[in-house]
Structure 1
């Protein structure tokens, strides 16, 4: 077994990187505001360019911008020199990323970017670097030291860069009034899209699949309906079809303890009269929140007249990818 203190090393890294984030807070100033305003007014797209680790961080920043309402994409500086500069127009804003501010591959394409007419924001750890001086706006991301004990591997500096990129993206999101619905439009796939876009109409059981019995039925009648529909509950309605109550598996367990006659006891005497109801246009994510808050396993969907038109349980939300 190794005697190296892995936990000590990890905690030291965390402390150094936390310090780096605290240090760059001082650079969120008027230049940051100017950069946000330039990006907000951009009629084209934000083109993010970086080499090596800065490129990896830049790729993520571009993705975050794009998903939060600021059209953006990443261009590799090496590929830019071999044709991809054609992606950049005068309407774009170019975000250059380099900790040293002297990355050759990035500096080599700056003259062409300027000739195209795109404005430049640079993000470096050296305000005196060529990249900082050539940019229209410079954002400083200088940190006192890297978390790497050799001072070589980009660690704290890349964390600071990523945080500054997130700060730009969120500031722009808020300035645009970007909403959860807007976010969902760019995330239709996966759990994010499902949580934000699905309504109960998309996931509920409807029509003949809704368990329903009428007042006057016995507990046995309700159990047959519950068993046939397989949702662990049934609605109880009056002669007009309006919801009057709900009977669930939990209710069944309670009445068994009371030793009631299942064949003769009317269902309305044991049903839950004040059950939680929802409407079909409610987001599935909202329904999940209600179920978790009230610690219930199912919901009844009613129409404007108070008639049950749908039913769902936790399993339905799980299958839909909401849970």
Structure 2
């Protein structure tokens, strides 16, 4: 019974933490709807989007961890960004900041002394400084060209000491800035793939042209070929079907294993393939996302798609190609 009681008490504590942090996010949302915060965020996005250099994100302690994540999110979504440790900045790394950069400093109290050298450097060399703090009247707030004034929130820590709700607010504000920059820059899924070529995410953002079979790998016969010729072509290739093309290599039909089974017992193998082919095979284009091609395979209950450029056959893609690409 004691163990059960403790488990319930722990889950109640976890739920309380969620409630407190949700309240903090609601406070951030309310603040962002206000004219002062809304104007500051608009100016910050305009400044970040217009910079010819990079976004230098900095912060100390837990705010430093959040700053690292903000920089990483910005990098992965098309904004050149890096994290600068305030301690290292004071010992030579200030040189990483150029006059074309924008500095984004994350500090809840606004009195993080390790940031002061960065603030002085920005002021001395005219580097734009954006500060996110819950104390706009603080040293950091006064040093900022643009101050993002975060609302005061209650920490979820029972002693109200460990950064919990405050770092959640910082993180979400950083995400909001990064997403707004995606829209401001018109960052597309194709652009996203450039920065995420690996893993399942990269595979889902790949194009059909990157995984399709081309050239001699594509099974094809002319429209005047016989059933025998089509069957031999299917056997030589791995796709379980063959395209039927005209003299200009335009796709006019497809002949599959299923078509062969249906006609082999009742038809002459010297019959023209045009009598037995499917005249409207499912096709895609090479620049289609692989994830979209997978959806088309599933919707049409087929395992192979022919890839065309206009009407011309340029490739073929099998369900197995998508599995190997870690999409399915």
1:16 is matched with which residue? 20
1:124 aligns to 2:126 (yes or no): no
**Does the CA-based 8 Å contact 1:245-1:273 persist in structure 2?**
yes
TM-score w.r.t. length of structure 2: 0.82
2:29 is matched with which residue? 25
- What is the distance in 2 between the residues matched to 1:42 and 1:308? 45
- What is the distance in 2 between the residues matched to 1:238 and 1:47? 58
Shift of the 135–279 alpha-carbon distance from structure 1 to 2, 3 Å rule, reads closer
- What is the distance in 2 between the residues matched to 1:181 and 1:97? 31
- What is the distance in 2 between the residues matched to 1:38 and 1:244? 54
**Does the CA-based 8 Å contact 2:283-2:306 persist in structure 1?**
yes
**Which runs of 5 or more residues in structure 1 are unaligned?**
none
Runs (4+) off by over 6 Å: none
**1:208 paired residue among 207, 216, 239:** 216
1:294 is matched with which residue? 300
- What is the distance in 2 between the residues matched to 1:38 and 1:230? 54
Shift of the 279–94 alpha-carbon distance from structure 1 to 2, 3 Å rule, reads closer
Q: How far is 1:270 from its partner? A: 4.7
Shift of the 159–292 alpha-carbon distance from structure 1 to 2, 3 Å rule, reads farther
Q: How far is 1:135 from its partner? A: 1.6
- What is the distance in 1 between the residues matched to 2:204 and 2:238? 25
- What is the distance in 2 between the residues matched to 1:229 and 1:84? 59
Q: How far is 1:198 from its partner? A: 3.5
Q: How far is 1:27 from its partner? A: 2.9
Q: What SS does the corresponding residue of 2:100 show, helix, strand or coil? A: coil
Q: Deviations over 1:274-311 (max 9, x none)?
A: 2112334444444334324433321112354x453321
TM-score w.r.t. length of structure 1: 0.84
- What is the distance in 1 between the residues matched to 2:78 and 2:25? 25
1:177 aligns to 2:195 (yes or no): no
Aligned-pair Cα RMSD in Å = 3.0
- What is the distance in 1 between the residues matched to 2:202 and 2:189? 10
Shift of the 109–212 alpha-carbon distance from structure 1 to 2, 3 Å rule, reads closer
Q: Report 1:93-108 matches (<5 A).
A: 93-108=102-117
**Does the CA-based 8 Å contact 1:143-1:160 persist in structure 2?**
no
Q: Deviations over 1:84-113 (max 9, x none)?
A: 111113332211111222222223542233
